[in-house]
Each structure stands twice: as structure tokens, then as C-alpha cells.
Chains A and B, each alone.
Chain A
Amino acid sequence: MKLEFLGIGKRFVRADGRSLDVLDDVSFTVEPRGFVSLVGPSGCGKSTILNLLAGLLAPDRGTIRIGGHPLDRRRHRIGYVFQKPRLLNWRTVRQNVEFALRADGVLALVGLTPFADEFPLTLSGGMQQRVAIARALAIEPDVLLMDEPFSHLDELTARAQRRELLRFRDKIEATVLFVTHNALEAVYLADRVFVLGARPTRIEAAFTVEAPRTREIDEPYVLQLQRSVLAALGAP
């Protein structure tokens, strides 16, 4: 479904009474089944955007629309993959996915069927995160939110998980919003990359990734676009 984030402002009041403008007039649109990476420096409000979309926070200004209707937690299904897997360690892989909804199809999709009856702590960090992805897909989400899901994995594992995500990317219906501070990952996975500035956050630059989905992470086009994204982020 089409995701529209229109003129959103969000202000937090801190414990000392002073207020903090986190988002100021942020607007962007993601086409149905699109995959957008949001890249920005830490503390720039990336997580606030995800929490607004998940319905954990309400915006002070602006509207969020999904499929043309204002965001409604009863109407829209939002899948969320957190930075850490956040699994129920006392439940099996299958039960963790069933916690969200139906399990079998998505377990096969992410290649977890052989591990369905294991407990999460017997799996590697990468596999645990894959269970979390399966859980988010189990509700057949309209929108899939991913909050730096590979940032706490070692580089080799993260590489394998990214490739895996790209592999089953076309088989899911969801519109994906992927938050990261890793410019290369952002370019490699997405159709479009939005660069966020420092607080109060606005969209500073937008890039379109003109490479086929079967791309490689170290091909010249991807590396070149990564340089442009880094430049937009203000990297030397």
C-alpha cells in the first residue's frame, strides 16, 4: 500500500520542562510495495518516525496515510522488526511467529522451517533476527518497519542477512521502510534512499537506486551511490 507521511511535526517535552522539536515538517511518500531506506545521523529522529508509523506515538502536526486512509491501528497492519530480535526466549521459533499470527508460510519464506521447534537461544544472532522478521511478516503487513535490524550483527552475518532479505523482498506485499545509519546497506537494499538531517529533522536529499534487485553490494554503481549518500550526510 502507498505510504504517505505528510507535514509531520513532533515535539517532546523533556523532564526539565524544556521542549525538543524532533520532527519539523517531514514529508515523504513511498509507492506501493516500494522499499525506502531512511539514513541519518544518530539521534535525528529516525526511531520517532517508526514509532509514529507503528502507532506508538501520535504526531502533533500533519497526517499519516496508508493506502489512502489515515493511519488506523485497527485497519492497517504494521509489521515491525526491531534493532534487537525481542523474541520470547521461552517459546519455540514457531510459537514466536504464531504470537503474531500464522507461522508456516513465513517460516518457509525466510528459510526457518528446519528450526521451527527450537528455542531462540539455541540459534545464532542472525537466525534470531530472521525469526523476528518472520514474526513481522506473519501478520501480512501493509507496511513493514525495520529499525536497524542488522546493526548489532557482525559484518559477515549482516551481509548474509541482507542478501537474504533482498532474495525474498519481491515475494512480500508490504511497503518497506528501512531505517539505518549505514549508507551502503541503505543503497544496497532499497529502491529509494532518503537522507535525514540533524534535529529538527527534515528530508535533506533523496536518491533513486537505478539498479536491478539482483544487485551485488560491492558493484560499482552501488558503491558510487553510497558516496553520494555519504556526501549528503556531510561525511568528509
Chain B
Amino acid sequence: MKPARFAASALSVASILVLWMGIAAFFPPTLLPGPGVVFRRLAELVATGDFWFHLRATVQRVALGFAGAFVVSVAAGTLMGARRLAESVLSAWVLVGLTIPGLCWAVLAVMWFGITETAPVFAIFVVVLPILMLNIWQGTKSLDRDLIEMARVFRTPWPSVMGNVVLPQLLPFCLAGARLGFALGWKVVVLSEMLGLSSGVGYMINRSFSAYSMDDVLAWTVGFTVVMFAFEYAVMLPIERRLVRWRPVVEF
């Protein structure tokens, strides 16, 4: 990243902290503690290992649910884009899936599967699936037919057509879907954990809430946010940058 853009990002993060400090100065610490207190509490949680233990449980659930949804949506989404019949059958499912709130799925999952690992993984799977399907469906529909015809004229074997022609065009849609999917997945997993699990970041936030410990609620929330933020910068952005490096940079 260019120094100027890095400085702009750093400044933007710093302004959030300053805003938080400013607002916290007007409220008692039991209602809104400042960043100093919260980060100190977070450091304690990290030191005891509690933070990593619960974070791992949460991330594992999201990863499992997301991976399942990704595999199914690549198959179903490309089928929808390529075949009219599949599109007419499945598009209603996608739209219904997009309409049902994540909270409903989280509740239903706990009622169906009880307090098991299956409940949060299922909830994430069904919430993320329609978003990913929608993106891959649209991506397949927008494939450049001229390029596929070109590949046919040159008698290109199908693995090469997939790898060189189809996948590179689908990847930006997969990435956009993954972004939205992860964002929703984090929300749903925390809800599921609040409703009926005995580990995970959501469970710990709920427990801190029961004890009315504002420091703990915020420490868990902030810790989780920082990890998500790091994930975006360390994983999603480099992937995206690699994917679009063939495109000339245009600013307007």
C-alpha cells in the first residue's frame, strides 16, 4: 500500500478511538468506559487464554458453515446461470432465503438441533448460502459468451476453459459474495452462541451482559472486531488486489 493511503487508513482508525474517548468523557465508566479501560481488559483476556479459546470456537463454526455454503453455492449458482430450468426452480428459493432474517434461523437452529455444534453451523450455512448463490448466479449469467465461443473455435480442452476463461470471470463475484457472507456469518454466529451454546464470543458477551459488566461486553466486542478487521486486511484485500492486477488503475 502507498504511504499516503496507509496514513489515511491509520488516521481513520485513530479518529474512531478519539471519538470514543470524547463521548466516554461525558458518561460514567459503568455506562461507557473509555478505550483505555476496555483495551486493558482485553489484554487480560488475551493473557489468560480465554480470548483465544472462545475466538477459536466462533471462527471454527463460521468456517465450517461458510465452507459448506460455498461448495453448494458454486454448484447451484453456476447451474442457475447456465440453465434456464435451474434458474426458474431455484430463484424463488434464493429470494425466500434472502428475506428470512438471520435471527430467525439462529432461533430455529437451536430449537431443531438443541445445544450442539450443529446448530450454529447450520444457521450460518442457511444464512450465507442465498447470498453466495445470488452472486455466483449473476456472475455466471454475465460470463462473456464471445470468449467461450472463442475457446470452442480453438478447441480448448474443458479444464483449460474452466481455469482460464470461466473461473477468472467468476472470482470477483465469489469474492463479493464471500465479503457479504462473512459479514452476515459473524453476526449470526454471535446470535446463535447467545441463544444456546457454552462457548464462543457470543456466549461470553451474553455472560458479561448477565453480570452487567460493561468492561467485559465491550472488551469482547472490540477484540472480535479487531480480529475481523485484521482478517479483511491480511486475507481479503491481498486476494482482491491479486485478482484485479490486470486491470489498469482508473480513479475518477
Contacts and interface: CB of A to CB of B under 8 A. Distances in A.
B164 A78 contact: no
Contact of A90 (B146, B160, B246, B248): B246
A99 interface: yes
Contact of A88 (B149, B165, B247): B165
Nearest to A73: B155
B150 A86 contact: yes
B146 A139 contact: no
B154 A80 contact: yes
Given A86-B150, A90-B168, 7 more contacts: A56-B149, A80-B150, A84-B146, A88-B168, A99-B164, A119-B246, A135-B154
Contacts of B151: 99
Nearest to A89: B246
> Which 9 interchain pairs have the tightest Cβ spacing?
A119-B246, A90-B168, A86-B150, A80-B153, A90-B246, A54-B153, A100-B154, A86-B146, A121-B248
A122 B248 CA distance: 7
A194 B164 CA distance: 37
Given A86-B147, A99-B164, A56 B154 contact: no
A99 B160 CA distance: 8
Interface string B149-190: 111111110001000110010000000000000000000000
Interface string A86-106: 101111000100011000000
A99 B154 contact: yes
Interface in A97-119: 99-100, 119
B248 A78 contact: no
27 contacts: A55-B153, A56-B149, A56-B153, A80-B150, A80-B154, A84-B146, A86-B150, A88-B147, A88-B164, A89-B247, A90-B168, A90-B246, A91-B164, A91-B168, A91-B246, A99-B151, A99-B154, A99-B156, A99-B160, A100-B154, A100-B156, A119-B245, A119-B246, A120-B246, A121-B246, A121-B247, A139-B154
The range of chain A's interface size is 20 to 34
Interface in B48-105: none
Interface of A: 54-56, 73, 78, 80, 82, 84, 86, 88-91, 95, 99-100, 119-122, 135, 139
A197 to B, nearest CB: 27
Interface string B109-129: 000000000000000000000
A104 to B, nearest CB: 18
B183 to A, nearest CB: 26
Most A CB within 10 A of own CB, among B147, B149, B168, B246: B246
Most B CB within 10 A of own CB, among A99, A121, A122: A99
Nearest to A91: B164
B209 to A, nearest CB: 48
A122 B153 CA distance: 26
Nearest to B246: A119
Most A CB within 10 A of own CB, among B154, B155, B164: B154
B134 to A, nearest CB: 23
B245 to A, nearest CB: 8
Contacts of A54: 153
A99 to B, nearest CB: 6
Contacts of A120: 246
A152 to B, nearest CB: 13
B247 A78 contact: no
B241 to A, nearest CB: 13
A139 B247 CA distance: 28
A56 B150 CA distance: 10
A86 B160 CA distance: 16
B213 to A, nearest CB: 51
B156 to A, nearest CB: 7
Most B CB within 10 A of own CB, among A84, A86, A90, A139: A90
Nearest to A84: B146
